[in-house]
């Protein structure tokens, strides 16, 4: 059976499914991708055969960022989902249920790479548990994020009900 | 520690939502937790804190998704750009680093939520690099540059721009 990848937005209103292999994964540093993602760069993975991409729940809303390219996102929660151009569609890797399945192999748009981006693996690190004292609400937090797998119902009947 | 005390402006890709912050840029960091990943479709969410008293939305307002009871995430409902992270009732707001007009004005000082970090994170910085190139389009990169609908990286008097 062909490998299946699923994903969607944070709230779960938009879900997608890809049958078969993913295409090339990359990170793009260009200023359009930075601003569209609110980040240092955009991680995108191609879909080699658009026919194998199915929107299984809801649809992405589009912003036409230039005459050739549109960017899809969830209108309910804002998650960036796609980059769509004449040469095909690419998916935001962080929106995959398993982002580990798409390790990038190339960097694009490096003329706009930020001066500190290459040092971002060297700065100090901490796990979320370290923040419990400063932010005690974390200990009792109930996530309303859609789980990292398909679900039968949406919206969930109660917060966290889809989490298992 | 990577912060600044000058006025910083920013906004979404399309320009419908704009903000201004003054005072110290607090705790600029990258959050790798799975909630920040999925909210932004990315490997991590880079955030910069501001005092709510020294922060204002100067054009439009974001839409909000409550990713849990204590936390809500702001985004532009027109173009989807992730813009803000806010703990309800807190005197602070965090804005997304990539939505700043001058992204290089602030340098992240720490990585948080590293229990969710993708395993290939540190390898991303060694990937081969290419500059922006759209030779697949009839007019090349100029086709995008000349029709770019992204808001410029500074405040503007009116929106939407009439010449688009």
| CATH number of the domain that residue A48 is part of | 2.170.150.70
Number of domains in chain A: 1
- Asked if A106's CB is within 8 angstroms of B43's CB, the reply is no
Q: Within a domain: residue A164?
A: no
Whether A83 maps to a domain, the answer reads: yes
The total number of structural domains that make up chain B:
1
With respect to residue B153, please indicate whether it lies within any of the assigned structural domains.
Answer: no
Pairing of strands A42-46, A25-28: antiparallel
Average pLDDT, chain A: 90
Q: For position B152, what pLDDT does the model report?
A: 86
Residue A76 lies in a domain: yes
Closest Cα of chain B to A129: distance in Å?
Answer: 8
Q: How far is A140 from chain B (nearest CA, A)?
A: 10
Q: Please indicate if any CB of chain A lies within 8 Å of the CB of B141.
A: no
On chain B, the residues whose CB falls within 8 A of the CB of A110 are: 129-131
Residue A146 lies in a domain: no
Q: In the predicted model, is pLDDT for residue A88 greater than 90?
A: yes
Q: What is the ipTM of this complex?
A: 0.89
Q: Is A160 on the interface with B (CB under 8 A)?
A: no
**For the domain that residue B96 is a member of, what is the CATH number?**
2.170.150.70
CA angle A48, A112, B113 (to 5 degrees): 75
Tens-place pLDDT, residues B101-135:
999 999 999 999 999 999 999 999 889 888 888 88
In a domain, A160, yes or no: no
Asked if residue B160 belongs to a domain, the reply is no
Residue A150 lies in a domain: no
Look up residue B82 and give its two tokens: 């992730």
User: Does the residue B158 lie in any domain?
Assistant: no
Contact in structure between A37 and A71 (CB atoms under 8 Å): no
Assess if residue B164 is contained within a domain.
no
3-state secondary structure of A132: coil
The answer to whether the CB atoms of A110 and B77 lie below 8 A apart is no
Residues B18-65 have pLDDT tens digits of: 999 998 899 999 999 999 999 999 999 999 999 999 999 999 999 999
A106-131: average pLDDT:
91
Question: Is any Cβ of chain B less than 8 angstroms from the Cβ of A95?
Answer: yes
Rounded distance, CA B108 to CA A96, Å? 25
Residues 43-82 of A with CB under 8 A from B: 43, 61, 63-69, 71-81
Q: Looking at the complex, does the CB of residue B124 fall below 8 Å from at least one CB of chain A?
A: yes
Among residues A76, A87, A31, the alpha carbon closest in space to that of B145 is found at A31
Domain that holds residue A132: 4-140
Give how far B44 is from chain A: nearest CA, Å. Answer: 8
């Amino acid at each position: 059976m062909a490998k299946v990848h699923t994903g969607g937005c944070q709230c779960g209103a938009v879900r997608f499914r890809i049958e078969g292999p993913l295409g090339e994964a990359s990170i793009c540093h260009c200023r359009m991708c930075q601003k569209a993602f609110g980040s240092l760069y955009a991680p995108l993975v191609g879909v080699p055969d658009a026919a194998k991409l199915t929107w299984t729940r809801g649809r992405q809303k589009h912003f036409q960022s230039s005459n050739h390219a549109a960017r899809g996102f969830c209108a309910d929660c804002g998650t960036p989902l796609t980059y769509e151009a004449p040469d095909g569609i690419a998916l935001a890797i962080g929106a995959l249920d398993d982002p580990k399945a798409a390790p990038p192999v190339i960097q694009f748009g490096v003329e706009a790479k930020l001066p500190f981006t290459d040092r971002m693996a060297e700065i100090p690190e901490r796990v979320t548990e370290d923040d419990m004292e400063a932010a005690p609400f974390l200990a009792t937090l109930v996530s309303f994020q859609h789980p990292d797998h398909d679900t039968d119902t949406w919206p969930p009947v109660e917060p966290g009900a889809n989490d298992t | 520690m990577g912060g600044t005390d000058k006025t910083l402006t920013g906004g979404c890709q399309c320009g419908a939502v704009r903000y201004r912050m003054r005072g110290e840029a607090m705790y600029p960091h990258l959050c790798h937790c799975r909630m920040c990943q999925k909210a932004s479709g990315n490997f991590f969410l880079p955030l910069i804190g501001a005092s709510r008293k020294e922060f204002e939305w100067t054009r439009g307002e974001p839409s909000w998704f409550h990713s849990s009871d204590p936390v809500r995430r702001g985004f532009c409902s027109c173009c989807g750009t992730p813009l803000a992270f806010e703990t309800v009732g807190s005197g602070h707001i965090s804005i997304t680093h990539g939505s700043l007009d001058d992204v290089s004005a602030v340098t992240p000082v720490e990585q948080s939520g590293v229990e969710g970090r993708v395993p290939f994170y540190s390898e991303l910085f060694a990937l081969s690099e290419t500059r922006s190139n759209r030779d697949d389009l009839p007019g090349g990169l100029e086709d995008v540059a000349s029709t770019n609908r992204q808001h410029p990286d500074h405040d503007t008097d009116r929106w939407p721009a009439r010449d688009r």
